[in-house]
Chain A
């Protein structure tokens, strides 16, 4: 089944409709976006994580030569126009992706430990346990400044149940973002749903008075259910009480969001048409999701995003670049030259789509610079050599200048086994977020801010 994201022909739109609707702007980004009248001061720093599953063919990834003036390798070629915004970081490691006595399951571990730095508990049952991920640490600290503390996006919707990788629960491969050790943040993979979440499912054509009433009703409802919950909690046992705590936390989050939306009076006009659904090809799909992230940053709806270009164990095929083989089996190439070639092409394709994102950010005004100037884009994986399931010397990129202190344009090789969480600790620091540690981090990494 293939669903195309149709540009609906005019005939279809106008036929059968009584009301007139604004025809969609076919241009993805319109400069007429109602930019938030931000108070004078620095543009906020944005943080975006883009995750690729199953590592890469490292010999076509790692540039020879370090420092500035490095050669862009085959896989990274599409980022060459952004050389002065690119940092290629080699030598970082995700220790907790390794078995450490737990046997098989490197894919689940890689996904679950990448942003958390914690060795996930091996279980396919209810007692999942990882850690809190870097993006959520940031969201907790600065999330209250925007309508959404963070946004999690994904491009796969596999309805697998139960055990997803050698005894690890599917929860470990479904998300890379964790609000708490047992609370993964499920990524949204339907662009339409993302759009509705960002801009509201209701008609923006509703007049403010009506929208005011809707908000008031919502608040009364939430008040009521909170009361309800408090009353029944006394009658509950301890495990049920924990469930109610989860419920109350979620209710409180929504109340906060409603409050902040009320304070935020300007109307946000999306600038793109509401997506009909999931586009046909991977390329269209990825670019659409990247478009939504750009808008979210531009309108300051959030400052922290994670996007999974695929989940660990992904069996997506990339027919549009002539690869009908599913990704995961291909990644176990056993040094078969033809398979490695195909895999390198997939890796390249992923980076090309990421380059689209980088370009969009680079051409979008943001205060006194571009969005890219004020962003820190992490691109990488918890697995390096997917054939052998290694977690050392990961493929990692950092794009953007962040808060202005980053000095991109170089290839840096870090000492062996430097935890990748050290990178995240450093980036969070650039946003003014200073946790003591993130999982297995041992401190900040050097060289990002000086040549």
Chain B
């Protein structure tokens, strides 16, 4: 007892000396290590992390000096993190006083930073990056002015570090090379001669299931009643009767929309219209007016109607709906605009030879049928078919002509030397740098050869273009080495910088303005660079940053393949899926366009909703299919964590998973992913969840075992904080027969009771989130995984962003100005 007291006293006095350290120097650091840090470790850590036990493969006893520590800074970063979050020592072991932990952690951090500063700055190097699918499509679009997307047929890009634009990971198989060859020919032909006439094909869309409309206007899902027959979405877009899907229209042309409704209206109703919508705008409608059949019913099933519309190429959101579906019914149904038609009554002709008895029975049945109230909610669009293209626009577009024929002779009457002009201009843009006369010669040689074979000048240009499109100079972003040998860092060239910028912010090639800045050698000047970044962020092409980076960082791409269980989530269908994704995209976009604080990702109190999503969220007052900004103050929603997209991709098909959600937060918001689970983990008894035990109780097993707890103490509480949101993001206060308990305690002792409080804790550590987002954006921008030598860069960027109100544009600017973005390590072997 006394010894313990003395030991503690000595420990605390030596730690006081630690605290007095102002400028760390190596000798005093060594002293501090021996006198203060080691004893702390000995008391609190060596029990498990010693040479014999080596718990978690860590033997802390082995570190006898301060330098030995900084040599393995990766491990010590882990140690530092565990100390800071309070995960170590694990529960059940006596904890050191918070003040002591803090001091030791502070010392470790100082030493690690000092070692970093002493190390030579290393910008790293990225391997030649092959264009991935989106980059290929976007580059073709900007290079040639065409809407063809050949890369949609390419095989899936490999991904690494969470992104599909990592140089080392992207491979090039013979299959892909073949596709590049065909795609290059197709794109060239499209640009020079216009789209190939395509055979019309028919594609059919039929929702595999739909929200069950019960008779009250609500759905069988526990949502609030979403409509009454006098107060409902007249456009039909939000009603369960509609069909929604996205369709890629291959070319600008006319398309045929064949729409088939199903269901019944009461006999004597006015005709009903069905409408075809593209990207939220109605483009055509047709009337359906079937004769009322016997039994007083107007059956609209199978009454296919066709609408023919001109549609531009690209992916569009298509919907087919019933317009004003509850209007025009006979007055006794209580709908709006009651029908002025007389109810159709067919005279009843009994079959020949029927006995009076039989006639009486037939009559009785018919009368009963007439009296039966029809289920008017069953009316719907059954399927839609899109046929086409018809009446395609022929010939090259004005856009393509401008981009190709820079000699100015758009009418085809070319002078000598036009071939050289055209080819040089195209190659400079395709290879993203000036071309040598020899390169131009080779390409004009191709043009000449084609003409010698009897084909036209234009065909020659097309062949030259296809050659450019399979050249490695086009397919890869190559940053050649300079003459200097060895691996000394060097500044990347102006054109290389232009490419890095444009593929970072636009996932596409540099435009003319960027190329000219590079030409004049001014791109690296801070004022010019900042102005260009701002211009690029404003440009609509920056949508690519939101779709590519955002879609992968927040994992909303996974929304395409989620399949929530139909019995448990009958409310989930494609319109909801599409709306969820749109919400998150618009939210990200608002942070970019309004240059907001990146902390808004965590809990910004607004979002973008259409009526359908608002129904899911239970937010009143949002009607109509358009997305509009909605203020969320006063509620538990706000930020990406409570958006349906994130909540859905971090759930299983049948239920929520606090572990998955906790993991999502750790990976994507804190950049602290948990290690893989050990093998042979017994699986959760799904049947019991919500019935005999709440999910939370079932997961207590994670905390019972100290080994499981070491990771799950971090993950589970985060996920429990979101348990009020079910597997598709709707709010709930019950899970089966158990009330939701959304409270939790993090390993560092901080606790929360509601989602807002959880988000508050995350927001309070702004620097941690800033570092996480910096890490991910930098990985995406550079196209390589980050290494230890990038840590100082990430930390200083995050610090400066924090000092600048966490503005998004500041983060982008800092990344663009950072060491690894502006420089690269040489890769010349010692010759």
Question: Taking beta carbons and an 8 Å cutoff, which residues of A are in contact with B?
Answer: 1-4, 6, 8, 12-13, 15-17, 21, 99, 103-105, 124-128, 152, 157-162, 166-167, 169-171, 174, 179, 182-186, 188, 190, 193, 197, 201, 213, 216-218, 220-222, 224-225, 227-229, 232, 235-240, 242-244, 246-247, 249-251, 253-254, 257, 276-277, 315, 317, 319, 324, 326, 329, 332, 334
Report B797-831 CB contacts with A as 1/0, cut-off 8 Å: 00000000000000000000000000000111100
Known: A250-B172, A317-B563. A16 touches B177 (CB 8 A): no
Min CB distance A223 to B, Å, is 10
Q: Is residue B332 contacting chain A, with contact meaning CB distance below 8 A?
A: no
Which interface residue of B175, B205, B481 has the most chain A CB atoms within 10 A? B175
Contact partner of A99 among B172, B480, B679, CB < 8 A? Answer: B679
Contact partner of A237 among B168, B203, B455, B827, CB < 8 A? Answer: B827
Contacts of A124 in B (CB 8 A): 160
Selected interface stretch from B86-94, B554-562, B582-590: B554-562
Selected interface stretch from B22-30, B446-454, B697-705, B746-754: B446-454
Closest to B162 in A: A162
| Contact between chains at A276 and B463 (CB < 8 Å) | no
Alpha-carbon gap, A254 to B184, bound state (A):
14
Contact partner of A236 among B155, B156, B208, B481, CB < 8 A? Answer: B481
| Contact between chains at B480 and A236 (CB < 8 Å) | yes
* Those 4 A-B pairs whose CB atoms lie nearest each other, nearest first: A237-B827, A250-B177, A126-B168, A186-B155
| Contact between chains at B677 and A232 (CB < 8 Å) | no
Contacts of A244 in B (CB 8 A): 128, 472
Known: A4-B204, A236-B481. A247 touches B453 (CB 8 A): no
| Contact between chains at A125 and B160 (CB < 8 Å) | yes
Contacts of B439 in A (CB 8 A): 228
| Contact between chains at A253 and B156 (CB < 8 Å) | no
Question: Taking beta carbons and an 8 Å cutoff, which residues of B are in contact with A?
Answer: 125, 127-128, 130, 153, 155-156, 158-164, 166-169, 171-178, 181-182, 185, 199-206, 208, 245-246, 387, 390-391, 439, 442, 446, 449-450, 453, 455, 463, 466-467, 470-473, 475-476, 478-481, 552, 557-558, 560-561, 563, 566, 574, 652-654, 676-679, 681, 683, 785, 826-829
Contacts of A317 in B (CB 8 A): 563
Known: A1-B205, A126-B168. A326 touches B653 (CB 8 A): yes
Contact partner of A201 among B174, B182, B480, CB < 8 A? Answer: B182
Min CB distance A362 to B, Å, is 30
| Contact between chains at B173 and A186 (CB < 8 Å) | yes
| Contact between chains at A159 and B472 (CB < 8 Å) | no
| Contact between chains at A243 and B677 (CB < 8 Å) | no
| Contact between chains at A159 and B160 (CB < 8 Å) | no
Contacts of B202 in A (CB 8 A): 6, 8, 12, 276
| Contact between chains at B472 and A247 (CB < 8 Å) | yes
| Contact between chains at A126 and B785 (CB < 8 Å) | yes
Alpha-carbon gap, A221 to B181, bound state (A):
9
Which interface residue of A105, A190, A201, A237 has the most chain B CB atoms within 10 A? A237
Min CB distance B800 to A, Å, is 28
| Contact between chains at B677 and A103 (CB < 8 Å) | yes
Contact partner of B653 among A2, A99, A160, A329, CB < 8 A? Answer: A329
Alpha-carbon gap, A235 to B163, bound state (A):
28
Contact partner of B453 among A2, A216, A238, CB < 8 A? Answer: A216
| Contact between chains at A246 and B446 (CB < 8 Å) | no
Min CB distance B505 to A, Å, is 21
Closest to B202 in A: A6
Q: Please give 5 more A-B residue pairs, beta carbons under 8 A apart, in addition to A3-B204, A126-B169, A228-B472.
A: A161-B159, A228-B473, A239-B125, A240-B127, A250-B176
| Contact between chains at B563 and A250 (CB < 8 Å) | no
Which interface residue of A3, A161, A193 has the most chain B CB atoms within 10 A? A161
Min CB distance A123 to B, Å, is 9
Closest to B450 in A: A217
Known: A159-B560, A236-B478. A334 touches B471 (CB 8 A): no
Q: Could you give 23 example pairs across A and B, Cβ below 8 Å?
A: A8-B202, A12-B202, A16-B200, A17-B199, A17-B200, A128-B158, A157-B156, A161-B159, A161-B552, A185-B175, A213-B455, A228-B472, A236-B478, A236-B481, A237-B481, A239-B168, A243-B172, A243-B476, A250-B176, A276-B201, A317-B563, A324-B566, A329-B652
| Contact between chains at B178 and A254 (CB < 8 Å) | yes
Min CB distance A368 to B, Å, is 34
Contact partner of A221 among B175, B470, B561, CB < 8 A? Answer: B470
Contact partner of B166 among A126, A170, A185, A240, CB < 8 A? Answer: A126
Contact partner of B785 among A125, A221, A253, CB < 8 A? Answer: A125
Contacts of B827 in A (CB 8 A): 236-240
| Contact between chains at B683 and A332 (CB < 8 Å) | yes
Alpha-carbon gap, A221 to B449, bound state (A):
11
Contacts of A183 in B (CB 8 A): 171, 173
Alpha-carbon gap, A431 to B669, bound state (A):
54
| Contact between chains at B153 and A190 (CB < 8 Å) | yes
Alpha-carbon gap, A240 to B203, bound state (A):
43
Contacts of B473 in A (CB 8 A): 228, 232
Contact partner of B204 among A2, A158, A162, A334, CB < 8 A? Answer: A2
Known: A12-B200, A317-B563. A246 touches B172 (CB 8 A): yes
Closest to A149 in B: B174
Alpha-carbon gap, A157 to B785, bound state (A):
26
Min CB distance B423 to A, Å, is 12
Which interface residue of A1, A104, A128, A159 has the most chain B CB atoms within 10 A? A1
Contacts of A170 in B (CB 8 A): 158-159
Contacts of A254 in B (CB 8 A): 174, 177-178, 181
Contacts of B155 in A (CB 8 A): 186, 188
Contacts of B181 in A (CB 8 A): 218, 221-222, 254
Contacts of A104 in B (CB 8 A): 676-679, 681
Min CB distance A190 to B, Å, is 7
Known: A2-B206, A3-B204, A220-B449. A225 touches B676 (CB 8 A): no
Min CB distance A212 to B, Å, is 9
| Contact between chains at A166 and B677 (CB < 8 Å) | yes
| Contact between chains at B472 and A188 (CB < 8 Å) | no
| Contact between chains at A103 and B679 (CB < 8 Å) | yes
Closest to B247 in A: A1
Contacts of B566 in A (CB 8 A): 324
Alpha-carbon gap, A166 to B162, bound state (A):
14
Known: A103-B676, A104-B678, A161-B163. A1 touches B245 (CB 8 A): yes
Contacts of A249 in B (CB 8 A): 174
Alpha-carbon gap, A6 to B205, bound state (A):
12
Alpha-carbon gap, A239 to B126, bound state (A):
9
Contact partner of B563 among A21, A159, A238, A315, CB < 8 A? Answer: A315
| Contact between chains at A221 and B467 (CB < 8 Å) | yes
Alpha-carbon gap, A162 to B785, bound state (A):
12
| Contact between chains at A240 and B128 (CB < 8 Å) | yes
Closest to A183 in B: B171
Contact partner of B175 among A21, A188, A201, A218, CB < 8 A? Answer: A188
Known: A3-B204, A160-B561. A247 touches B172 (CB 8 A): yes
| Contact between chains at A237 and B826 (CB < 8 Å) | yes
| Contact between chains at B470 and A225 (CB < 8 Å) | yes
| Contact between chains at A160 and B558 (CB < 8 Å) | yes
| Contact between chains at B177 and A253 (CB < 8 Å) | yes
Known: A16-B390, A213-B453. A221 touches B478 (CB 8 A): no
Alpha-carbon gap, A124 to B163, bound state (A):
11
Contacts of A232 in B (CB 8 A): 472-473, 478, 480
| Contact between chains at B153 and A193 (CB < 8 Å) | yes
| Contact between chains at A159 and B173 (CB < 8 Å) | no
Min CB distance A428 to B, Å, is 21
| Contact between chains at A197 and B125 (CB < 8 Å) | no
Alpha-carbon gap, A275 to B679, bound state (A):
43
Contacts of B125 in A (CB 8 A): 237, 239
Alpha-carbon gap, A158 to B159, bound state (A):
13
| Contact between chains at B446 and A186 (CB < 8 Å) | no
Alpha-carbon gap, A249 to B178, bound state (A):
12
| Contact between chains at B164 and A161 (CB < 8 Å) | yes
Alpha-carbon gap, A12 to B390, bound state (A):
11
